[in-house]
Structure formats: structure tokens, C-alpha cells
Amino acid sequence: MIARLTTICVLTACAMSACAPRQSARAIREPLSITDVLRGTAADDAGYARAVDPRAFAFPADHGPHPDFRSEWWYFTGNLTSADGRRFGYHLTFFRNAVTPVEPAVEHASAWRTRQVWMAHFALADVAGGRVHASERFGRGALDLAGARAEPFRVWLDDWSVIAEPDGDGVSALRLRAATDDGVTLDLRLDGAKPLVLQGDAGLSRKSSTPGNASYYYSVPRFSAAGTITVGEGAIAVHGSGWFDREWSTSALDAGQVGWDWFALQLEDGAELMLYRIRRADGSSDPASEGTLITPDGGTRRLAHGEFSLAEERSWRSPRSGASYPVAWLVTVPSLGLRLRVTAALDDQELDLAFRYWEGAVDVHGSRADSPLGGVGYLEMTGYADAARAGG
Amino acid sequence: MTALWRIALRGMLARPGQPLLALLAVVLGVAIVTGVDAANGSALGAFRRAVDGLAGRATHRITGGPRGVDERVYARLRREPALRAAGLRALAPVVDGTARLLEADGSRGRTLRVVGIDPFAEAPLRPWLAFGVDSGGGFDVGTLLTTPGGVLVSAATAASLGLEPGAERTIDVTGRRRAVRVVAVLNPRDDVARRGLDDVLVCDLATGQELLDRRDRLDRIDLALDGEAAAAEVAATLPPELRLEPRGDERGRLDELTRAFRLNLRALSMLALVVGALLVHNAMQLAVVRRRGLFGLLRALGAAPRQILATVLAEAAIIGTAGALLGLPLGIALARGMLTLVGATIEDLYAPVGVHAVDDLRAADLATAAALGIGASLCAALGPALEATRVAPRVAWSRADLERSAGRAVRLGVPVGLAAIALGLAAGELPVGGLPVAFGAVFLVLIGAACLTPAATGALLALATRPLGALLGLPGRQAARGARAGLSRTAVATAALSLAVAATVGLGVMVRSFRSTVTEWLDGTLIADVYASVPTTMATRTEARMAPDALRALLAVPGVADWSTWRRVDVASERGPVELAAVRTVPASLTAFALTAGDRATAAAALAGDDAVLASEPLAVRLGLQPGDRLRLAGDHGPVEVTVAAVFRDYATERGYAVLSRAAYDRHWDDDAVASVALWAQPGLDVDGLVDRLRDAAAGLDQELVIRSNRALREASLRIFDRTFEVTTALRLLCTLVAFLGILGALTTLQLERRRETAVLRALGATPWQAAAAVVTQNALLGACAGLLAIPTGIALGWLLVDIVQRRSFGWSLLTFDVPPGVLASAVALATGAALLAALWPAWRVARQPLVDGLREE
């Protein structure tokens, strides 16, 4: 999730200046510097709304866009299995980013004139096939080319979309559709949603000790998913789970914050665990790192920085970026008696898009108060490619 | 063979004057052909690069009716997953229009193309314009999106216009002033992409719609499609007013539009080469005559006729090759001047493409021009070379033999010439072949006339002997007889001069007839008192849209009794794009159309609102339309079938157009735009006063209008007409220059060969000045003959150009055939003057020649 903040900021950076000095078409495939991006954009937050205090959420309106904030996203991830046991992960995310705080004044403005830029990422991890198929789209928030609406719920960019099913209420039943240019498709129905959860302090999620460096953040931590995917030879019926994250904000991180690791784990006992760690340049975790345990009945328990630990057990080095990603973790939450081994379903889930990050399906094996407990989830890791570039 | 080449080379070096002049003629001929080729090619190249560079990787495009493409169609296509699955790889919206950069003094400067794109859709098609991907110089999508009037320019365009990031300029878009600001400078590495951005202002689609006043509309959608099945699938989802076409269609557009114009220039440039070839012929003829003894000796030593032939041809090949080698660079230098003239006409009439630089000619083009030069030289030398093979061993031709042989050639020229003329006239009558055949016919007639010239010159000189004797006494008779006797060496040069002068006469007659016709036509067509239009050129006429408030302001001016409006659009038809003029008529309008086919009642019904059109003569000729024929046009609500009610005389465009009543247009097309308005003053009102009041009314508008009285519009139209013929004039003068060189060479040789004759004259007591005067008089006689003979040839040529080229190829039947006496007089003066000028040096030589040297035989 915070990593998604990076995503947005990278988008901004691409839009604002970072592409300028690049020398070749390959350059876009080189990782952009997240921290530079954040520092570069933090200076011109003036004019945007800021996430400073907890707010009163109103649904379904808050499922729709908040155009006065610089950035916002609709984030869907989940794990799928086919009838013959093939394992897949999916990731479909829509990002909105405002390039200026106010619309420029133009007389008889064209319908194309907008300050809202949209980006979408779609990735399908084929564990048996040993690869992740990733694709991205860009568009503008005009002429219905891209956008989001609260009621009935809909978020889309070109032909990629997430739309509320007619029998659903708010976001309780959704249809996800996306396809890459080389024919990998996703058509999924999510339903059976757990109640949505406000993350952080009643939905205000602080990213650093600086006031305003925060987002409004809520999640629907579990859906049942069913539908079809196409990868290679024809359509495959799949079923599994889904997780929906919503976040909007204007400013990001402090200097000295270099990346983050975000976990969204769906446990077999019906609970979910969300944890994020913000890494600092000196290797330590920022005190703003935190988490939430969602109980099977939808109750939440906020986990402070000191209440959990994330230990890296194995790393995988990307042959493309040279970045070394921890792909096996030991997650412990002593106060809950949780001790979970989180391992990547596939080591190489680094997404080679406009910027590089690792976003992928994970398996959970472990115990809660000494009883075995498994699960699945999604893990996001950013800032590693920057470190590799800085180091190399 | 080496020996033969050496003989050829030595032959030329021994007497370099004549070959040198022939060489100069070839140089000029090749240079003119190359120059015209390079200018034509550069103009087309600039257009193709603009098309290709901006098409990027698009394979197809969707275009619409007069108002373009509804932007909602684009949004719908983008959201359609089925089309992606069917093979729609990429699609991107484009608005595309022209603007003029306003100079500091407010005048309209360079024509620029304004292209609005969506940087988020460009990655698969034009990555250098895409968001997030390398754009060479790089640009800032946020700034591009949110800067009103924000534009990107290529580094080359920025340099040539003196722009840098942050620079602000004002552009004029069909009379509306718009501020633009340079957001960034692009420098794509891809050469095609970079050159496609020449003179282009790239902007965000929103900015493009705002700058070009295209709200809600796109000019096209560019697509990348996987195969024909995908194309069919996409085409099937389009509303009736939209069409999917392959990208190549656009590429060929300027080629087709300017084909006739370019062919005209090419024909003129070939004329220069033909004149040059005649001079080579002349030079070779003289060389053969001079070396008849040598050839006789060579034959006696065992040389085969074939080898003699090769020697003479080798000489021609040396002249041709050297001429081509020198002509090519000269032609490339000449191209710059030609390009200014050609580019201006293309930009005025055909397409708003600025042509500023001469492209490097492709090796193939250079090779063709060189081959033409060498080939023409060899062909021209074939006759003399065959003549040389007939020299019997050891038998040197006597002077008398030579003159007999020349006389045979002159006599042979008569039937050959007559046959060529007859063939040319017959070819001109052919109903097929179009412009190339028409020009071929013209060339045959010209060559026929050239063949007849020696015999005709001889006859003229014979006729002139007695009157000249009466007028000038013995020197007069001598001059006429001398000139006649020397025809063996001067006939071809005289023919070349006559040909060049005839071309001048013919083109003069054609242009004059055309101009008289256009003047007369304008008188009949411009029936309103005042004309108001949006400032566009012919090339951008379909972009002209007058703002509704501008039209209202004009019509509200007191004193306007009635008005008629015009709107020109390109619409698709089953026979290719057709230009349509939607005209709101007044009762008098019908009189402005001079019908050449069809009856007035049907034409009146068409103008009153029937589904019927009046076809302009060029359109009728091009599409083979006659009254009663039907034409299926692509309307905004589906196909529109119109009847051709009548054909009318028109000289405005060479591709022609169809006039449709505004009522019918409004029924079938959703377009309320108007490009120009014709206004009638109330009876008795002072028109100049009305023009002033209309200008006052238009002064406060956002859109600048051009408001002109009937007289001013007529003058402006004729100015454009005259400008399009500037190239013709330039080429005409170049042809005459080549001919002048020819006559200079021929006369110089003639006089040098006659040194003995003049020496005898001197020995008999003539003063040096009398001898020189004899030379000058002979030349003047030859020049006058060439000029006189050029008159009938020129008039015939003029008639052919009017009848075959203008009428049958363009569909322009001229109302008058105007033979201006001035052109005829100047033809004789030109030929005589050229001949006199050419006589100066030989005369000076004759006067200075020591008597003894002259008396000695070679």
C-alpha cells in the first residue's frame, strides 16, 4: 500500500520531469528512483487537500474519486486456483493522479482538458508456468476514457474495469476485467465481501512523523473470487480470494525513507493480517510502520510498530535489475501468538513496468498459539531496485 | 577500342569550340531536368515525410465527414474489449490543422501544422510523443496537459523559428489569433519521426481542439490493426459517417493532387534537354564533316564501318557523360531556385506543406538524369555517325558531296517532319492516356516542326534573296545566299533556336489564352458586390470555418440586400474523394454558372435544393460525368445519391468540385459551417462605403475576415493565377538560353569554316568591317528565319496546349484563343537578337583574321 504511494509518485515523476534526461527507449525500463521522486514532489503539495486528521467516511461516496488529493488508487489482489490445482495470483490496480491542484482556466475548454492522469497495472502470476504476465495502461480522466464512480461503483481505464455487479451493494460484488496485449486475460467475479475495514487511526494512515504525510486508507480484506483467466492455451476456470485496498493522499514520505514491504495475508482461520514496514536508509524500520489484524467476524486490532517483527530468511536477485528481494520472511506478532513463514509462490514476481517493484502471491505456513495455521496473501516490496542501482 | 577513344578525344581537343558549346547545352539540359526533378521530389518528399513521420506505426485511420470524427466514437472504441481481441493493437486520436505563425509586425509568416495528440495513447504508435517513454528531448506531460496553448516543437523547427522552451508566440488559425507557448523541444532519434515534425506544433489533444476550434471533434483516429479481419471488425462497428482506410491512401494524396503540375514542369524541363540534344547533333554533324578525310584514311587502313561509328558515338558519349557529370551538380544548385517557385505554388494550391530544403536526390534519380543526358547525346549523334560510316575508303568528301548529302538530309526532313506532326496530331486525338500522351503528342509535333525547319529556312532564304538584293545590293544578296549555302552546318542550330522560340510562343499563347479566359470567367462568376472570407489559401480551403457571430455581424450591416454563402468540404464517394461546395444561393446565382452541359431548369432545381449537383468541368472530365449521371456520396447519415444536373465552366481547381445547394447539404451532413459569404449591396449604394462598414463591423471580432470588393477579389485571383505561371516563365527562359548557346556555336563554326571565303572577299577589296558586316547580316537572317518559323509552330503548340493539355487533361476548355501580337513580335526579336548576339564574336574574328592564313586551305 505505501508502495502504491510510490507508484503514484513515480507516475507523477514520469509525468513531471523524471523522464526528461533519459537517453533511450530502454531507459523507461530502468528503475526510477523512488526517494528522489518523493522528495521532488513533496515540495509542491500546496493547493491539494491533505490527510491530516481522521475524517468521517461516507459510503458509497468514498468508493468514488477524491480529485482534490494528488493521488488515489483502487487496488485488487488475490490468489486463484484452477480445478486441476494450478496456482495463480492476480493484481489489478487503478491509479489516479492529479498533475496540478486546480484546473487551468481555459475559455470553452475542450472536453479532453483535465488534470487527472490515470494509470493501471495488471499482472497475472502463473506459478506453474513460472512467470508473471504484467501490463500497464495510461489514460486521462476525461471523456470516460478512464475514471471512477461511486454509485454504481465502477473504476476503469480503457477496457480494463472493475464494475459493481447489479445484485451487489456498494462493493460487495464486483466484476474484474483486464487483458494484456499478448492475450493474457482476467475475468473474475468477487463476492462474499467481508465488511470494510478502516486502517490506521480510524482510516488515517500515517506514513511518517511529519503531519500530513499520511493517507486515508480502507480495505475490504476478503472476497471469494470465481471466474476465468486466459494464459497460453485457452480459458481456465478459477476460484480463490480477493483483497481490495483503497487509499488517497497528497504527500508521501520523509527524506530518509527508502522503501517498504507490505503484507496482505488471508489466514485459514478466517482472519486477515495487514502489515507494512517502512525502511529507512540506515536499514532500520520507521516507527510509522504498523499493521492491523482483522478477526473472522470483522473486528480489528491495530498493531503498532513494536508489536511485530519481519525477519528476512531468503533473498532472490533479479537478473534484470540486480535488485535483491527478500522472498521468504518470518513474521511474528508475539501479542497474538502468531508465527508465520511467508514465502513467495514464485521468486520472480518483479514487475517490469514503467518502474520496477515486486508484487506477488505468497504462501503462509505457521502457527497461532502453537496450532498450525496456513494461508495465502500478497506481498509488495519497493525500493530494492533503487538500492541495487545506487549500489551498482 | 582505345585507339578509337583517343581519336574521338583528339578530334574534340583539336577544335574544342563546337564540342564545348554542345557540352554546355547538355550541361544546361541535364541541369534543368535535374533541377526540376529535385524541386518536385523535395516538395513531395516534404509531404511524404510529414505524412509518414506523423503516421508512426499506424496501419489505418478512421476519418469522417466534413466535421471530422466524433470524439465519443474514439472513447467507445477504446473501451471495447472485443476489438482488442479481434486485433486492434493500438488507436490514438488526432486533431490536425494548419496555422500561420504571426510575425512581429503582425503579418502571417510560416505555415505550420498544428497536431493535437493524446500522449497516453501514443506509446504503441508514436513513442516519441508518448507519455512516460523517451521522447528524445523529453517532455513533461503534466505541463503539456495543463499549459493552455502548450506546444512541443522539434529541435530543427525550434532552431529555424528561433523558439526555445518557454517561448510564447501568436499563431493565426483561419483568422483567429491564438497564443502558444513552447513547453519542450523534441529530438527523436528516429529520422523519419524527426523529419515528420518539421514545421509542426505538437500539442495535447485538448489544446489542439482549442487552438483549431475543433471542440468535440477529431480529424482522425490512427490505428494499428492486425490484418484485414481486424480492419473489417473495426469498420463494422463504425457509424455511417466514418470510414476506415489504410494509411497508404493519405501518402498518395499529394502525389495525385500535384501530378499534373509536376508533369507540366517535367515536360518543360525535357524540352530543354531536346534542345540540347539538337545542339549535340549539330556539333557531331560538323565534326564528321570536318574529319571526312580522316575517316576515309581510317577505312583505307582497314577500320570497319562499325569502328568508325563507334568513334563518332564515343565522341558523343564523352560530351554526354561530361555534360551529365557537370549538369547534375548545377541542377542541384538550380533546384534551390526552382523549389522556391514550385514550393510556393504547392503551398498555395495543393497542400499546406512548407518546402524549405532541397532533398538529396536519390542515386536512381541522378542516374536517370545522367542517362537521359548521355542517351540524348548518343541519339543525337547517331545520324552523323551513320553518315561517317558511309565515307568510302580513301575517298575524301568534296565540299559538293557534303552539300549534296546535307541537301538530302534537308529534303528527308520534310517527310519525316510531316509524319511526326501527323502522328502527334493523331496521338493528341487519342481518347486515352491522359497527360503523358498529351505531352507526347506535343513533343512529336515540335520535333516534326524542327525537322521541317531546315527546308523551310532554305525556302525562306531563297525567297529573301531578291528583296534583300533590292534593299542592300550585292551584300544583301550575298548574305542570303551565304546563309543558305551554310545551312549544312547551321540548319540544326537554327531548328533548335526556332524550337526554343516556338516553345516560348506556344506557352505565351497558352498562358495568355488561359488568363483571358479566367478574366472573362471571373467577370461572369463574381456577381456579388462584396466578398468576405476566412483567411485561408486554396490548399486549406476546406479548413475555413467562419464563426457564426462573424457571419451575423456582417449580415447586420445596413445596406446588405442579399447574400450567398459557400462551404467547401471533401467527402468520400464511390469514385474517390470529391470536393463539394455547399452553396446558399440567391436568385441571381444561376447566372454565375456558365453551363457547358445540361439545361438551366434542371440546374435551377439543383440549386433550389434537389439531391442534385452541378459538376465543374474538370470534375466532369476527371470522373467522366454527364448530366443525368448519379454520384454516391458519403453523407453523415448514410450514402447520399445525387444526380449530376449540369456541368459548368470553372477554373478554380484542376481536380474540380460539385456544387450542392445548402438545403440539400444540411439535409445530409451535420455541419453548419460557412467558409465565405458573398454580399449584394442595396441598389444605388456605394460599394466602397459598404466595404468600409463591413470591415468596421468585423474589426471587433475574434476572427479576422478578408473583406474585398468584387474588383479587389478579381485582382487577387489574377495575382494568384500569375504566380502559378512563374515557374513556366523561368523554364521558358532557360530553354531559350540553351538555344542561344546552340546558335552561338553553330554560327561560330560556320564563320570559322568560311575563313577562306571571307579571305577571298577581303582579297577582292572588302574592308574588315564589310567582311564582319557580312557575317552579322547572315546571322541576323538565320535568326529572323528561326523567329518567323517559330510563329506558326508556336501558335500550333499553343493551340495544342490549350486543346489537349488544358481541355482534355484538366477539363479546362478555354473561352478564347488569344495570340498576342506582342508575343509574336518578341519571338522574331528574340531569335534575331540571339543570332545577332551570337554573331559578334565570329564577326570580330573575321575582321581580325590575317588574310594569308585565311586563304590557305587546311
- Give A357-373 pLDDT, tens digit per residue: 999 999 999 999 989 99
Q: What is the mean pLDDT of chain A?
A: 86
* Cross-chain residue pair B204–A138, CB shorter than 8 Å: no
| Mean pLDDT computed over B149-167 | 92
Percent of chain B with pLDDT over 70: 92
* Cross-chain residue pair A28–B205, CB shorter than 8 Å: no
Q: What pLDDT was estimated at residue B541? A: 82
Count contacts between A and B (CB, < 8 Å).
Answer: 119
Q: Between residues B831 and B8, which one has the greater pLDDT?
A: B831
Annotate B53-75 with three-state secondary structure.
Answer: HHHCCCCEEEECECCEEEHHHHH
Nearest residue in A to B84, CA atom = A181
Nearest residue in B to A119, CA atom = B120
pLDDT of A120 higher than 90:
yes
Cross-chain CB nearest to B142 (options A15, A22, A177): A15
pLDDT of B743 higher than 80:
no
Question: B175-194 burial, b if ≥16 CB within 10 A, otherwise e?
Answer: bbebebbbbbbbbbeeeebb
Burial (0-12, 13-18, 19+ Cβ within 10 Å), A239: middle
| Mean pLDDT computed over A131-151 | 93
* Cross-chain residue pair B138–A14, CB shorter than 8 Å: no
| Mean pLDDT computed over B594-619 | 92
Q: What pLDDT was estimated at residue B660? A: 95
Percent of chain A with pLDDT over 70: 87
pLDDT of A173 higher than 60:
yes
Q: What pLDDT was estimated at residue B55? A: 83
Percent of chain B with pLDDT over 90: 25
Cross-chain CB nearest to B75 (options A16, A19, A145): A145
Under DSSP, is residue B243 helix (H, G, I), strand (E, B) or coil? strand
Which amino acid does the sequence have at A219? S
Written as nine digits, the cell of A308 is 511485530
Q: Which of residues 179-218 of B touch A (CB under 8 A)?
A: 189, 204-210, 215-216
pLDDT of A7 higher than 70:
no
Terminal-residue alpha carbon distance, chain B: 28
DSSP state, A301? E
pLDDT of A127 higher than 50:
yes
* Cross-chain residue pair B145–A156, CB shorter than 8 Å: no
Q: What pLDDT was estimated at residue B351? A: 75
CA B760, chain centre distance (Å): 53
Q: What pLDDT was estimated at residue B856? A: 61
Q: Between residues B124 and B260, which one has the greater pLDDT?
A: B124
Which is it for strands A197-198 and A204-206: parallel, antiparallel or unpaired?
unpaired
Name the pLDDT band for B142 (thresholds 50, 70, 90). confident
Name the pLDDT band for B403 (thresholds 50, 70, 90). low
| Mean pLDDT computed over B121-143 | 75
Radius of gyration of chain B (CA): 32
* Cross-chain residue pair A20–B81, CB shorter than 8 Å: no
Q: Which residues of B touch A21 (CB under 8 A)?
A: 138
Q: Between residues A127 and A18, which one has the greater pLDDT?
A: A127
- Give B202-233 pLDDT, tens digit per residue: 999 999 999 998 889 999 999 999 888 899 99
**Residue linked to cell 513533496:** A42
pLDDT of B724 higher than 90:
no
Q: What pLDDT was estimated at residue B310? A: 85
- CA B295 → CA B13, B299, B305, B386, B828, distances in Å? 17, 6, 9, 12, 40
* Cross-chain residue pair A110–B210, CB shorter than 8 Å: yes
- Whether residue B89 lies within 8 A of chain A, CB to CB, comes out as yes
Name the pLDDT band for B153 (thresholds 50, 70, 90). very high
pLDDT of A346 higher than 60:
yes
* Cross-chain residue pair B132–A28, CB shorter than 8 Å: yes
Which amino acid does the sequence have at B564? S
Nearest residue in A to B189, CA atom = A24
pLDDT of A43 higher than 60:
no
pLDDT of A348 higher than 90:
yes
Q: Which residues form the domain of A349? A: 2-391
- Give B527-573 pLDDT, tens digit per residue: 999 999 988 877 778 888 888 888 999 999 999 999 999 999 999 89
ipTM: 0.87
Q: Count the helices and strands in chain B (H runs, E runs).
A: 29, 21
Cross-chain CB nearest to B210 (options A17, A106, A181): A106
Which is it for strands B658-661 and B578-584: parallel, antiparallel or unpaired?
parallel
* Cross-chain residue pair B133–A177, CB shorter than 8 Å: no
Cross-chain CB nearest to B132 (options A14, A108, A156): A14
Q: What pLDDT was estimated at residue A6? A: 43
| A318 within 8 A of A325, measured Cβ to Cβ | yes
Q: Which residues of A touch B207 (CB under 8 A)?
A: 110, 113
Name the pLDDT band for B355 (thresholds 50, 70, 90). confident
Nearest residue in B to A115, CA atom = B146
- Whether residue B139 lies within 8 A of chain A, CB to CB, comes out as yes
Name the pLDDT band for A18 (thresholds 50, 70, 90). very low
- Whether residue B133 lies within 8 A of chain A, CB to CB, comes out as yes
Name the pLDDT band for B747 (thresholds 50, 70, 90). low
Single out the residue of A27, A44, A112 nearest to residue B145, CA to CA. Answer: A112
Q: Which residues of A touch B127 (CB under 8 A)?
A: 25
Nearest residue in B to A187, CA atom = B81
Q: What pLDDT was estimated at residue B400? A: 62
Name the pLDDT band for B398 (thresholds 50, 70, 90). low
Q: What pLDDT was estimated at residue B658? A: 95
Query: Please, what is the Cα angle at B595 between B589 and B601, to 5 degrees?
Result: 65
The shortest C-alpha distance from B87 to chain A (Å) reads 9
Q: How many domains does chain A have?
A: 1
| Mean pLDDT computed over A174-180 | 95
Q: Which residues of B touch A177 (CB under 8 A)?
A: 81
Q: What pLDDT was estimated at residue B666? A: 95
* Cross-chain residue pair B133–A158, CB shorter than 8 Å: no
> From CA B758, how far away is CA B764, in angstroms rounded?
10
The shortest C-alpha distance from A8 to chain B (Å) reads 13
> From CA B599, how far away is CA B593, in angstroms rounded?
12
Neighbours of A63 (CB within 10 A): 24
Name the pLDDT band for A19 (thresholds 50, 70, 90). very low
Least confident interval from A14-18, B364-368, B483-487, B572-576: A14-18
Q: Which residues of B touch A184 (CB under 8 A)?
A: none
Cross-chain CB nearest to A17 (options B118, B140, B215): B140
pLDDT of B135 higher than 50:
no
Instruction: Give the DSSP H/E element, type plus range, for residue A249.
Output: strand A235-249
Cross-chain CB nearest to B120 (options A100, A108, A140): A140
Cross-chain CB nearest to B134 (options A22, A158, A181): A22
Name the pLDDT band for B665 (thresholds 50, 70, 90). very high
Q: Between residues A126 and B724, which one has the greater pLDDT?
A: A126
Q: Between residues A87 and B84, which one has the greater pLDDT?
A: A87
Written as nine digits, the cell of A111 is 472536453
| Mean pLDDT computed over B511-531 | 88
Least confident interval from A25-39, A252-266, B147-161: A25-39
The shortest C-alpha distance from A100 to chain B (Å) reads 7
Q: What pLDDT was estimated at residue A94? A: 96
Cα within 13 Å of Cα(B622), Cβ side: 22
> From CA B821, how far away is CA B819, in angstroms rounded?
6
> From CA B239, how far away is CA B14, in angstroms rounded?
78
- Give B768-777 pLDDT, tens digit per residue: 888 788 778 8
- CA B409 → CA A16, B417, B444, B496, distances in Å? 82, 12, 19, 16
Radius of gyration of chain A (CA): 20
Nearest residue in A to B212, CA atom = A110
The shortest C-alpha distance from B568 to chain A (Å) reads 25
Written as nine digits, the cell of A4 is 502504491
Q: What pLDDT was estimated at residue A17? A: 33
* Cross-chain residue pair B209–A112, CB shorter than 8 Å: yes
**Residue linked to cell 563554326:** B749
Task: Give me the CATH number covering residue A311.
Answer: 2.40.370.10
* Cross-chain residue pair B210–A139, CB shorter than 8 Å: no
pLDDT of A24 higher than 80:
no
| B577 within 8 A of B631, measured Cβ to Cβ | no
Instruction: Among A44, A107, A138, pick the best mutation site for testing chain B contact (most B Cβ within 10 A).
Output: A138
Q: What is the mean pLDDT of chain B?
A: 84
* Cross-chain residue pair A22–B85, CB shorter than 8 Å: no
| A286 within 8 A of A280, measured Cβ to Cβ | yes
pLDDT of B619 higher than 70:
yes
- Give B268-324 pLDDT, tens digit per residue: 777 777 777 777 777 777 777 777 777 778 888 878 888 888 888 888 888 889 989
The shortest C-alpha distance from B148 to chain A (Å) reads 7
